[in-house]
């Protein structure tokens, strides 16, 4: 490697290959079908809502608030590694050459997070808030500029303060971003001009702090590790990721549930499986998230066939992933020394999955009852959950 440009290029290629390796298991044909159904249902509900929403609905303020908050979250993607604390130390004076590449990638890779909500909000802004096309064009340009500003300032702030007080900085940038977008919607050039002053001052003040400050390798290494860990945890819902080691929490408030398993030798594996499910963060929160998504789908997706496909897909994901997570184990476990049937664990896993899926079906049913859906067919959603879950258990290895 001749220079820091080569260092970034090699690391970026490795990073892209790492993403592609796991994303091919995430975005499969089944998930694509679910996404198409969800987007179609969401678009239909959105268009129907636009027909009934009041003309005095604060659409511009809502869009400014949402996008302003999203702009404030501009975590830099530096691809810095722990050995860099030693190997890049002699090149620290030239480190900005590397960081310019990193910040450029951060800007372009995170741009969709704010552009997509703005595109989604265009019908609301044009039909309800009556925002003119030239104003929308100005707002779009400001979103691009504010995204660049947020990326640069967050990086400079993290460098200057070693990551301390980042939430205070985000609140300031969120408020400034909301204010300037709201001013752009009202086409008030005076407010925009006045807001440019603190924007420029805030940027200059933090970039000046970088002079003479040693690069905080420890902080940016931690940021990178946490960012990749979030990606691996997401990918782990769809395929086995060796980088993930599930964390364990006792969750003492659920200890009372263990009493539901009769205290008998033949139920030893049932107890162990149940305890493993409750205490393992990845498995427990996976089921909880998918169950909440099923309940939200039952509450807000008003098209029966779409909500059935949506809830059925989530029940399939719950059943198959919980079963696979609990079945995966090392070649030797201490419970293999117990004088119990060799198939007791697999039977216990199937029993647990059926129990939690029944609970998921009940939560969906309660949601439908509370919301009081117009379609009677929505009351069949719990049956869909149970049938899909049972078929999944029967057909999976």
- In terms of DSSP H, where are the helices of the chain? 4-26, 29-52, 59-72, 84-87, 95-123, 133-161, 166-185, 189-209, 217-235, 268-279, 281-300, 304-327, 344-371, 381-395
pLDDT at 252: 77
Q: State percent of the chain over pLDDT 90.
A: 33
pLDDT at 297: 84
Please report, for the chain, the start and end positions of each structural domain, with discontinuous segments joined by +. Answer: 4-234, 252-329+339-395
Counting beta carbons within 10 angstroms of the beta carbon of residue 377, is it exposed (0 to 12), middle (13 to 18) or buried (19 or more)? exposed
pLDDT at 335: 59
Q: DSSP letters of 171-194?
A: HHHHHHHHHHHHHHHTT-HHHHHH
Half-sphere exposure of 131 (CA within 13 A, CB side): 29
Joined tokens for residue 199: 């924007």
Tell me the pLDDT tens digit for each residue of 292-336: 988 888 887 777 887 888 888 888 888 888 888 888 655 555 556
Half-sphere exposure of 101 (CA within 13 A, CB side): 16
3-state secondary structure of 303: coil
Joined tokens for residue 258: 């263990």
Joined tokens for residue 382: 């719990």
Q: From 152, 165, 142, 153, select the one nearest 68 (Cα to Cα).
A: 142
Higher pLDDT, 288 or 2: 288
Distance between CA 358 and CA 78 in Å, rounded? 45
Distance between CA 315 and CA 391 in Å, rounded? 11
Contact in structure between 151 and 74 (CB atoms under 8 Å): yes
59-80 exposure pattern, b = at least 16 Cβ within 10 A, e = fewer: bbeebbbbbbbbbbebbbbbbb
pLDDT at 31: 64
Mean model confidence pLDDT for the chain: 84
Contact in structure between 192 and 179 (CB atoms under 8 Å): no
Q: From 183, 345, 200, select the one nearest 275 (Cα to Cα).
A: 345
Higher pLDDT, 36 or 352: 352
Tell me the pLDDT tens digit for each residue of 92-108: 778 888 999 999 999 99
Q: State percent of the chain over pLDDT 70.
A: 89
Higher pLDDT, 359 or 338: 359
Say whether pLDDT at 268 is over 90.
no
Rg of the chain's alpha carbons, rounded to an integer? 26
Say whether pLDDT at 380 is over 70.
yes
Query: DSSP assignment, residue 342?
Result: T
3-state secondary structure of 280: strand
Higher pLDDT, 315 or 262: 315
Sign of the alpha-carbon torsion through 278, 282, 286, 289: positive
Beta-carbon contacts of 296 under 8 Å, excluding residues fewer than 6 positions away, are none
Say whether pLDDT at 339 is over 90.
no
The mean pLDDT of 231-251, rounded to a whole number, is 72
Give the predicted TM-score (pTM) of the model. 0.74
Tell me the pLDDT tens digit for each residue of 138-157: 999 999 999 999 999 999 99
Query: DSSP assignment, residue 248?
Result: B
Say whether pLDDT at 1 is over 60.
no
């Amino acid at each position: 490697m001749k220079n820091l440009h080569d260092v970034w290029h090699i690391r970026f290629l490795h990073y892209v290959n790492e993403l592609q390796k796991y994303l091919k298991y995430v975005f499969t044909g089944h998930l694509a079908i679910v996404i198409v159904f969800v987007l179609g249902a969401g678009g239909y509900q959105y268009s129907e809502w636009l027909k009934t929403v009041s003309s005095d609905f604060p659409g511009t303020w809502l869009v400014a608030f949402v996008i302003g908050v999203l702009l404030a979250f501009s975590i830099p993607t530096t691809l810095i590694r722990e050995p860099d604390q030693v190997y890049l130390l002699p090149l620290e004076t030239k480190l900005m050459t590397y960081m310019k590449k990193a910040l450029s990638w951060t800007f372009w890779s995170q741009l969709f997070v704010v552009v997509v909500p703005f595109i989604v909000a265009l019908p609301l802004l044009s039909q309800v808030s009556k925002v003119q096309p030239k104003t929308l064009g100005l707002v779009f340009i400001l979103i691009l500029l504010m995204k660049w500003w947020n990326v640069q300032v967050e990086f400079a702030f993290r460098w200057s303060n070693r990551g301390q007080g980042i939430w205070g900085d985000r609140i300031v940038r969120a408020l400034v971003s909301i204010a300037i977008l709201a001013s752009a919607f009202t086409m008030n050039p005076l407010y925009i001009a006045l807001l440019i002053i603190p924007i420029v001052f805030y940027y200059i003040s933090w970039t000046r702090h970088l002079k003479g400050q040693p690069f905080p390798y420890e902080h940016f290494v931690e940021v990178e590790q946490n960012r990749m860990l979030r990606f691996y945890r997401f990918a782990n819902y769809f395929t086995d990721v060796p980088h993930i080691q599930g964390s364990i929490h006792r969750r003492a408030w659920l200890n009372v549930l263990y009493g539901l398993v009769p205290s008998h030798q033949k139920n030893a594996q049932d107890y162990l499986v149940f305890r493993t499910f409750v205490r393992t963060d990845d498995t427990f929160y996976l089921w909880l998230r998918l169950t909440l998504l099923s309940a939200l789908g039952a509450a807000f997706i008003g098209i029966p066939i779409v909500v059935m496909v949506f809830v059925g897909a989530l029940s399939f994901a719950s059943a198959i992933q919980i079963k696979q997570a609990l079945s995966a184990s090392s070649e030797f476990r201490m419970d293999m020394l117990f004088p119990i049937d060799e198939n007791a664990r697999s039977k216990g896993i199937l029993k647990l999955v059926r129990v939690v899926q029944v609970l998921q079906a009940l939560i969906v049913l309660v949601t439908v009852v509370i919301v009081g859906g117009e379609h009677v067919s929505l009351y069949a959603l719990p049956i869909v959950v149970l049938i899909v879950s049972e078929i999944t258990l029967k057909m999976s290895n």
